Every structure is written in C-alpha cells, then in structure tokens.
Structure 1
Amino acid sequence: MTTDAISPPRLTSRQRVVLLVLLGAGFLVSVDFSILNVALPETGAGVGMEVAQYPWIPAAYALPSAGFALLLGRFADLFGRRRLFLGGMVLLAGASLLGGLAGSPEALLIARALQGLATAMALPAALSLLTTTFAEGALRDRVLGLNGALLSGGFTIGALVGGALVSLLSWRAAFLINVPVTVLIVVCTPFVIDESRVSERVKLDVPGAITVTGGLLAIVYAAVEHSILAVVIGGVLLVAFLLIELRAAAPLAPVRILKRSTVKWGNYAGFIVFTMNTGMVFLMTLYLQRILGFAPLTTGLIFGVPGLAAVAAGVIAGRLIGRHGYRTVLVAGMTVQGLSTLPLLFVGSDRIGLALLIPALFIGFFGHVTSIVAYTVTGTSGLPNEEQGLATGLTTMTQQVAISVGIPILSAIAATRSIELTGIHFALGVNVVVTLVSAGLVWIGLSRGVPQRASAR
C-alpha cells in the first residue's frame, strides 16, 4: 500500500476558513446555551420573574429551536443555505441584544424565543454547508468529529466560565457577549462561503410544514408543562404530517428519505443519546447540590473537568468511523454511555460517591460525544447534496427535541419514588436499560440497511 493511500485527507486553505466560520457559529450557540443555564436564577430575578416562572426561560428557547428545525432545514435546501445561515446569525445578534437590555419578563422571554428560532435557522444550515462542502468519506467524518468536539467544548466552557462571567459582570453579559462575535461571523461569511443553488424552483409543502411544526411544538410544550392534551394534539398533527407527505407532490420530508435505515435509526439513536444524557446530567446536578450540598460553581467544575473527555472524543470519533464504520462506532458509543451510567446507581449520601461519579462522567461523556458524531454521520450519509438541509434539519430537530424532553421524562420517573436519592437511582436504572436496549436495536436496524463505509477513503 502506498503512502498516499494511507495518508489522512488534508484541508485546503479555503476549507479551513469555512470550518472556522461554521464551527465557530456552532461553538457560539453551545457556549451561549450553557452560560444561560448557569445564569438562570440571576436572569429571572433580574427582570422580576417569579421563581415558578424560571423554567420558561429555557422552555421559550426550546420550543422554537426544536419545533422549526426540520422546516428551516428544508428551507435551506430550497432557498439557499448561506442565506438561512446568515439570517439566523443576524437574528441571534438582535435577539441577544434584546435579551441583554430586557427590563421585563415579557421582553426576556421574547428574546429567548427569538434565540431559539435563530438556532433553528443557523444550525441545520451550518451543518448542511459542512456536509456539502466536504464530500462523504473520511474527510467529512473528521469535520463532523471536529464539529462535535467544539459543540461539546462549548457546553463545557460555558459551564466553567458562566458562573464567573455572571459574578464579575451580570447576567446581561450572557446575552451581550454574543453580539460582537455574531457580527464578525456575519461580516466574514459572504467572503468565504458560496450560496447553494437549487436547480429548479420547488413549491413549498405548506400543509406538511404547518402540521410537522405544530406537532413538534405541541410535543415539546407537553414535555415542559406535562400536558396530556398537548401530547394528543402533537401526536395527531405528526400523524397528519406523515399522511400528507405520502400524497404531496413536493413533500417537505419525502417518506422515502424517512424510511432510509440510516436516517431512521441514526435519528433514533441520537434521540436516545441526548434524552438519556441530558436527564442524567440534571439528576446528578440535583444529587451534587441537594444531597451532597455542593455550590453551583463547584458543581460546574465537577462536570467541567470530565467534560474535557467530550472534546477529545469529538476529535477521535471521526477517525474511528473512518476505520470501523458508523454502525460499529455509534453502537459502541451508546454502549459506553449506558454502561458508564451503571456505577451511578450506587452513589450514596456521602461525598465518597465522587469516587464513582467523576470517573463515570469522564467515560460517559466520551461515549456520549462519540455517539453524537456517529449519529450525525449516519443520519446524513447516502443522501444527495440537495437533500442535506433536510437531513441536517432532522438531526438538529432530534437533538433539540431530545434535550427539551430529557429532563422532564427522567424527572417524572424519579418522582415515582418518595425518597429523592432512591428516585434518582431508579431513574438512572431506567436510563441504563433504555440506552443499552436501544444500542442493540440500532445495531440490528442498521445491519439491514444500505452498506456503510467500512474504512476511510
């Protein structure tokens, strides 16, 4: 075998600049999300909100970011990916400015909702720009690995510096810090990223757009508010969406794509991975603060240090996929995430539990991010460039919906037990079972699909 055959693919100068812009945007969004989580009490109090209203600060973001991701990902295919990306960045800058200057709960919640809508515009467009700039294969796997590393790094850095930033300045800094960075991205983008082209004008599937967006909004609202009626409405709308897509001349999400094993099982895996990890982090936050009595800043450090493993996983995962294929790496990552949660069932009410918690988080975060990179590669593989916006819209929607429902689902499971620590253990046990069973289902489901790439090319 020649040296050229085994040498890793190299990025051109232009590709490096494109990466800097697109990955920088994703990093900004993830940092912003985690900083605002840390600043939640100060933010709510700063605009005069009641404590009971605080959960609506993240919920106002989650509803549009999850509900509109699929629709806006398809918009990127139909009307221009760069256009949607730039629109999302401009909206994020305006929403962040509004949030930083907010003087009332209403203004704050409107700003958060606009930030969520900006995320639904920018993230699928940015990811589809990545998948169309870099051809399917080893180079794209590496790029998506870097994307996963920076997203995870953003969450980790946001958790580590968020408390310090809010303490030194104010909660308003968590919003205003976005503005100059976003403006820089907007200024640079037209010079380094070309607009995508649509070969022919396609009529938008309006009934499909209305039903899928309404259904997703209802499902996320149901998770936030524990509303059975919203679950029913969301389910009816999503069923109506599938029926519409079967008959539409130009469907928003062609059923042939939704039936692809890579799209179907990749997004199922992503939903499980994000739901279970988000719920686990929340339960462990309760454990550290309520049971062990740690302060929020200490809690952030406990999660932040193992979070460095997540950054390493993002870099390594792309290479692993090139060598072993996305099915093997995806299932392995899910298995590691599930098994690493198992020791947490044995943490007790004294601080010796940290001896189990920190190594488990370190290993679990590595498996989690490996799974994220692998499910993104899986869900976007084998599709033509003109459908990458739809594919990345689906993966973004999966991520946002899962993050939104993970905490309510596992919290509800934990609440079935009268003792808090017992409830946490029970919910984590369900987490382990669901993750490992799902890993087996994904392995079987992907084995029946289109043959995957087994090695880098």
Structure 2
Amino acid sequence: MSASRTTPLAPAPHATPTGAPPSRPRMTGRQKLVLTLLLGAQFMIAVDFSILNVALPVVGEGLGFPLSHLQWIATSFALTAAGFTLLFGRIADLLGRKRLFIGGMVLLGLSSALGGLAHSPEVLLTARVLQGLATAAVTPAGLALLTTAFKEGPLRERALGLNGALMSAGFTAGAILGGLLTDLLSWRWAFFINVPVAALVVVLAPSVIADSRPAGRPKLDLPGAMTVTGGLLLLVFGLTQAGESGWTTPTTLAALLAGAVLLVAFVLVEQRAAAPLVPVHILKRRSVIWGNTAGLIAFVTETSLVFLLTLYLQEVLGHSPLATGLAFGVLGIGTVLGGTLGGRAVGRFGSRRTIVSGGIVQAAATLSLVALGTSGAWIWLLLAATFIGGVGNMLMIVGFMVTATSGLPDEEQGLATGLATMTQQVGIALGIPVMSAVVTARMGAATGPDAVLSGVTVAILVNSALVLAGALLAGAFLARRGARPAAG
C-alpha cells in the first residue's frame, strides 16, 4: 500500500516557558470550519436513519405499501448502508476521501429528491437504497477526513466526541423532525430537507477540506469486496427477517447461513490476497477488535432501546407518534452532553476506562426502566433514565471511536473508520430485530397493553445485561494490550 500525502491542519507546537503549565491545544479557524462542515454532513446522515420511522404508516397509506412490507422503507436503507460501508471505506483510502465524500453527498441530494417525488413503492425503495449507498460512502470518508485533519491526541478526541454526540443526537432528532414534518407539512419533506443541506456541503467542501490521497493506485481486492459485502447484506437481511417472521423460518436460516459462509470466505480470501481489503494485521489489533466490539454493543443496545420505549409509549401509554418523538428529545440532550464530555474523559482517564464507565452508567439507567408501569406518571422515570443512559452511551461510543482509530497511519484511517462505521450501522440494523424477537417470544399469543409491557420489560433486562457484559469484556481485553497509560 502506498503512503498517503496529507496536509496537516494542526498548528505547529510552540515552546512553553520553563515552569509554565503546558497550554491546551486549540483548533485553528480552518479546523473549526472543517469540523463544522463534516459534522453537519454526519448529523444529516444520522437523521436519515430514523426520520421516516414515525411516518411509516402515513407513507405506506400514501403510496399503497402493504402493511407487511412497510418495514422495508427502513430496512432497504439500513441494508445498503451497512453492507457497503467497509468497501467504500477502502475505496476512500485508495481513490481519495474528499472525492468520495463529495460524490456521496451529490448522490444523497439526488436520491433524497427522488424519494420526495416518489409516487410508487418501487421508486421510494429505489431512493432509499440509493440513500443507503450514499451513506455508506459519506460516513467513512467523512470520518477519515476528520481523523486526518486532527492529529492523534486531545484535538482528535474532542472532534470524535462531538462527532459521536451529533451522530447519536441525529438519530434521536430524526424521530422528532420526522414527526414534525409529517404533521405540519408532508412526509415528503423528510426527503426534501436533505437537498439544500447536501447542496451546501457540495459547494463548500472543495475549498474547505484538504484531501489525503495515495501516491499510487493499488488494485482493489474484488474477491474480498464481494464476499464481505455479500456476507454483510445477507447477515443483516437474515436478522431483519428474524425480527419480522421468526428465527426458524427457511428464509431467515438460509440468509444467516449464507452470510456466515461468505464472511468466513472473506477472512480466508484476505489471508491470501496481495492487496487485501482488510489487511490481516488490522484484524489482529486488540484496539480494533475490542474497540469495535464495544461500539457494536453500544449501538445495538441504545437504538433498540428507542424501539422498545416507542412500543411502551404508544402501545402501553397511548401517546401519538409526535409525542413519542418529542419524548426522545431528552435522550438527544443526554447524548450531546455525553459526546461533549467524552473527549475530555478519554484524555483524562483513557479510552478503556471511558468505555467501561459509560457502559456501567448506561446499563444501570436501562435497568431502572424495568419499573415502568401502565400509569402515565412513569414518563418521568423514562425521561430521567434515557437522559442518564444517553450520557453513558455516548461515553462508550466516543471511547470506541478513539480506540478503533488510534495507532494507525493516515493511509489506513479510511479502513479504520470504515470498520467503525460498519460496526455502527450493523449495530443499528441488528438491535431492533433481536429485541423485537425477545418481545414477541415473551408475549406469545397475548395482546393488549399488559402483554406489551411484559415483553418490553424482559427485553429491557436483556438490553441492560448485554451492554454491561459488552463494556466489561471490552475493558478486560483492552487492558491486556499493553497500551500507554493515557490510552486506558
């Protein structure tokens, strides 16, 4: 692999007078502009994950979607976003992160316009698939541009903390924004709102963002790309089918088995490839393996908790979709606070301790939700617990992002951020079907608010145990990697 030529954006260090405490590094004006542009794009991408969720019944009614196929409006987006992220992360390394980032934003704007103008289910699903492809291109390219714009240390930790906060807050804001746009205007504005934002980013990015490009053009590992993309697509499809129709149906089992076979084939291909899509030495790094494990658990548990609490708010307490979305605004505030604190926590305590402490806080807050009942007064417990849990979740996510992208050269940052982004998107796609299956198994043939509450309560217990186990395991294995104390 050829080395990258990067344009450093960080200011040169200044000498510190003898005896004076070292000054905290500050962002330059250019770095602030780069950060604002990249974070704005990432926030919009995160909003797209959830902006249609509360509007699905309205969209289905307007375009004639059968109720059984309604979930594909969300799934078609998640499938392509998760399946192609690793491939596009590698393409960003090979062909240029800036070029892929801008191209992805162009595709996002065009596909959003197509979705807003759709008058049939086929056109809408095509638009969602294209939006997923744009997300798979923009997210790892944008993260790689972010990590190469800020050298490893306090500034990068701060930038990744803000990025994580806005990504998580964007997922929550999408539900609120989707409800508002659907109630006040039309569900079509959930698509149209992306167009001017994408256009602004495309206009500003060429002059604001400095690229890092490979000196040569190594060949793309096509066998590796085909096996990992096919494996991820089938795996996420199988998990989605499991949540919809059960774990033992032929379609679910065939998809999961085929996905597992392709992912095993991918590992074997990478061991023999001259220019592997994922170099084997990357997969052997504890920071990459366990950092991404912590991230997967964080996204699986928090996004699925939003799903569980949506069931509780609408099916048990009887709230409207808009009221449900507004209730999650408190969670959004917690994630922004957690992201703001995350970079400082990593700098002071190390990424490992940040992951563990964040996981413990999230698990405890989630566990308190098993006390929820059928009275409307329980909304106050829900608001408090989601706020605290949001802070803990973002501490865990920031620790994961710093861990998974640290200690690697700039020419491999696209790969590292591609893996991290894939982890995020697979987690989002995986959490809901898994928790849905838990709820369904607990409810059995029973119906009504009490049955839903029973299913949600059991799933909340599973959710809390999962995040606690994931954080503690990641912390234990990261402690054995021999990192410097500052890294946790």
TM-score of the pair, normalised by structure 1: 0.97
Please list every run of 5 or more consecutive structure 1 residues that lacks an aligned counterpart in the other structure.
none
Identity %: 55
State the Cα deviation string for residues 414-445 of structure 1 (Å, max 9, x = none): 21213322221111111122211222211111
Structure 1 residue aligned with 2:39: 23
> Is the 1:224–1:408 contact (alpha carbons within 8 Å) kept by the matching residues of 2?
yes
Counterpart mapping for 1:295-310 below 5 A: 295-310=320-335
Bigger mean CA deviation after superposition, 315-324 or 414-423: 414-423
- Are 2:303 and 1:294 aligned? no
Structure 2 residue aligned with 1:147: 163
Structure 1 residue aligned with 2:148: 132
Counterpart of 2:479, as a letter, is S
Shift of 1:5: 4.2
- Are 2:228 and 1:203 aligned? no
Counterpart of 1:268, as a letter, is T
2:425 is paired with a residue whose SS is: helix
Match of 1:240 among 255, 265, 274: 265
CA distance in 1 between counterparts of 2:223 and 2:49 reads 32
Shift of 1:358: 1.5
Shift of 1:455: 7.3
CA distance in 2 between counterparts of 1:390 and 1:251 reads 11
Shift of 1:307: 2.0
- Are 2:363 and 1:320 aligned? no
> Is the 2:354–2:396 contact (alpha carbons within 8 Å) kept by the matching residues of 1?
yes
> Is the 2:292–2:400 contact (alpha carbons within 8 Å) kept by the matching residues of 1?
yes
Match of 2:475 among 438, 443, 455: 443
Please list every run of 5 or more consecutive structure 2 residues that lacks an aligned counterpart in the other structure.
1-15, 243-251, 444-450
Structure 1 residue aligned with 2:290: 265
Counterpart of 1:50, as a letter, is P
CA distance in 2 between counterparts of 1:77 and 1:102 reads 34
State the Cα deviation string for residues 282-333 of structure 1 (Å, max 9, x = none): 1111011111111111111211123211111111110111111100101111
Counterpart of 2:258, as a letter, is I
State the Cα deviation string for residues 168-193 of structure 1 (Å, max 9, x = none): 21111110111111011001111111
Bigger mean CA deviation after superposition, 34-43 or 120-129: 34-43
CA distance in 2 between counterparts of 1:403 and 1:157 reads 15
2:240 is paired with a residue whose SS is: helix
1:348 is paired with a residue whose SS is: coil
CA distance in 1 between counterparts of 2:406 and 2:170 reads 25
* Structure 1 vs Structure 2 CA RMSD: 1.6
- Are 2:373 and 1:341 aligned? no
Bigger mean CA deviation after superposition, 148-157 or 270-279: 148-157
Change in Cα spacing, 1:370 to 1:393, as seen in structure 2 (3 Å) is same
Change in Cα spacing, 1:71 to 1:26, as seen in structure 2 (3 Å) is same
- Are 2:135 and 1:119 aligned? yes
Change in Cα spacing, 1:256 to 1:384, as seen in structure 2 (3 Å) is same
Shift of 1:450: 4.1
1:232 is paired with a residue whose SS is: helix
Shift of 1:378: 0.7
> Is the 1:261–1:450 contact (alpha carbons within 8 Å) kept by the matching residues of 2?
no
- Are 2:198 and 1:190 aligned? no
CA distance in 2 between counterparts of 1:365 and 1:164 reads 22
Counterpart of 2:455, as a letter, is G
Match of 2:382 among 357, 367, 371: 357
Structure 2 residue aligned with 1:58: 74
> Is the 2:81–2:132 contact (alpha carbons within 8 Å) kept by the matching residues of 1?
yes
CA distance in 1 between counterparts of 2:113 and 2:21 reads 50
Structure 1 residue aligned with 2:11: none
TM-score of the pair, normalised by structure 2: 0.91
Structure 2 residue aligned with 1:381: 406
Bigger mean CA deviation after superposition, 131-140 or 199-208: 199-208
> Is the 1:326–1:453 contact (alpha carbons within 8 Å) kept by the matching residues of 2?
no
State the Cα deviation string for residues 354-384 of structure 1 (Å, max 9, x = none): 2322211110011111111111111001001
> Is the 1:156–1:308 contact (alpha carbons within 8 Å) kept by the matching residues of 2?
no
State the Cα deviation string for residues 327-366 of structure 1 (Å, max 9, x = none): 0101111111111111111211222322322211110011
Match of 2:464 among 432, 438, 448: 432
Counterpart of 1:399, as a letter, is Q
CA distance in 1 between counterparts of 2:112 and 2:60 reads 16
Shift of 1:210: 0.4
CA distance in 2 between counterparts of 1:323 and 1:351 reads 41
- Are 2:173 and 1:161 aligned? no
Shift of 1:4: 6.5
Shift of 1:393: 0.3
- Are 2:73 and 1:67 aligned? no
Pairs aligned (count) = 456
CA distance in 1 between counterparts of 2:217 and 2:173 reads 42
Shift of 1:158: 2.7
Counterpart of 1:353, as a letter, is W
